[in-house]
Amino acid sequence: MLSLSDKPERNMVLLDDYEMEELDFVPIDPNHRSGYVVVLGKPNVGKSTLSNQMVGQKLSIVTDKPQTTRHRILGICSGADYQMILYDTPGVIEKKMHKLDTMMMKNVRSASINADCVLVVVDACKPPQKIDEVLEEGVGDLRDKLPTLLVLNKKDLIKPGEIAKKLEWYEKFTNVDEVIPVSAKYGHGVDDVKEWILSKLPCGPAYYPKDIASEHPERFFVAEIVREKIFMQYRDEVPYACQVNVVSYKTRPNAKDFIQVEIVVEKNSQKIILIGKEGKALKLLATAARLDIEDFLQKKVFLEVEVKVKENWRQNEGLLKHYGYGGQIQAL
């Protein structure tokens, strides 16, 4: 997959005069639109589900627990005459418990620097509330300059009459350009969101090849799949205390690919919970993760999972940067 550091010019080979003349005849669509979209919202409102629906592929992990997304996930949604580059950001949190929370929110803000428009996702099942602090935390001084769409998600869970009331409230009491109700889970209304975004993106060529869905390497998504399974299998604080790193990823032409993963926790008691009696819990986790990884990679893999303790890693700025929370995903 393409990373931001892999500039297209580095991959170009020298062309002879004939080939350069041929390139001159490649038509460029003057109406092609490309741009960046920042997806904001509080935890557990459905940002990742919406982003996955728009890209047409599961890139961001989704669970019923808040604050599942930690990194800003870049998803690329391409069509014949457009390319939307989506930043699915961590949920905006008011109370920052660890340095990890502070760095995650810093990444939310930095994602907005190149944004052409903003989506603010809210939960239709909850009472309407102002989105000022979400915009302030997410885009800061750009809040009055960027076109903003409020996405009223989970409309499938409430009655049509309630949807109408909440639409009216958000149109009246929030300073957004438009409000669109959707069900991200079932894809209802997602095309309306795409149309709104396209109307805001500038004309220009694609930033990425049309056949890729993200800039992140495969090993990043492998780690995210393992982390999703931790959120699904374990309760309370344990999933939030876990960091997943891909230690080794070896492709083997005549055998299953070998992937070695470490799960970092803060306390030995958390390690004991993850492993479980006679290692059964960890084996269950590894099996569930392996099946999803194989589905994602479309190949068979051998997955090895180890649990390590690094006390207070969520407060260690050096470790956090090494784990990719400084704004870039590290190749661990």
Map out the domains of the chain as residue ranges: 8-200, 218-322
DSSP H helix total and E strand total for the chain: 10, 9
CATH code assigned to 218-322 = 3.30.300.20
**Which amino acid type is present at position 207?**
Y
CA distance 154 to 158: 8
* Per-residue pLDDT, 8: 37
CA distance 219 to 189: 32
Exposed e or buried b for every residue in 117-142, given b needs 16+ CB within 10 A?
Answer: bbbbbbbbeeebeebeebbebbbeeb
Cβ neighbourhood burial of 218 (10 Å; 0-12, 13-18, 19+):
middle
CA distance 289 to 302: 11
Q: Cα-atom radius of gyration of the chain, to the nearest Å? A: 21
Q: CB atoms < 10 A from the CB of 214, how many?
A: 22
* Per-residue pLDDT, 308: 96
CA distance 112 to 39: 9
* Per-residue pLDDT, 44: 84
Query: Which residues sit opposite 264 in a β-bridge?
Result: 243, 308
CA distance 89 to 105: 9
Candidates 34, 35, 42; CA nearest to 151 is 42
For residues 32 and 203, the answer to whether their CB atoms sit within 8 Å is yes
For residues 140 and 109, the answer to whether their CB atoms sit within 8 Å is yes
* Per-residue pLDDT, 167: 95
For residues 59 and 217, the answer to whether their CB atoms sit within 8 Å is no
DSSP state of 95: S
* Per-residue pLDDT, 104: 65
CA distance 166 to 52: 25
Strand order in the sheet with 33-40: 73-79, 82-88, 33-40, 117-123, 148-153, 178-181
Q: Which CATH superfamily is domain 8-200 in?
A: P-loop containing nucleotide triphosphate hydrolases (3.40.50.300)
* Per-residue pLDDT, 126: 94
Element (H, E) at 194: helix 190-200
CA distance 316 to 99: 7
Rounded (to 5) percent helix, strand, coil in the chain: 40, 20, 40
Query: Which residues sit opposite 77 in a β-bridge?
Result: 84
* Per-residue pLDDT, 235: 84
Q: Do domains 8-200 and 218-322 have the same CATH topology?
A: no
Q: Note if the pTM is more than 0.85.
A: no
Tell me which residues of the chain have a pLDDT lower than 50.
1-26, 329-332
**Which amino acid type is present at position 38?**
V
Please give the C-alpha separations between residue 285 and each of 122, 218, 228, 231, 260, in angstroms, as whole numbers. Answer: 31, 20, 10, 10, 14
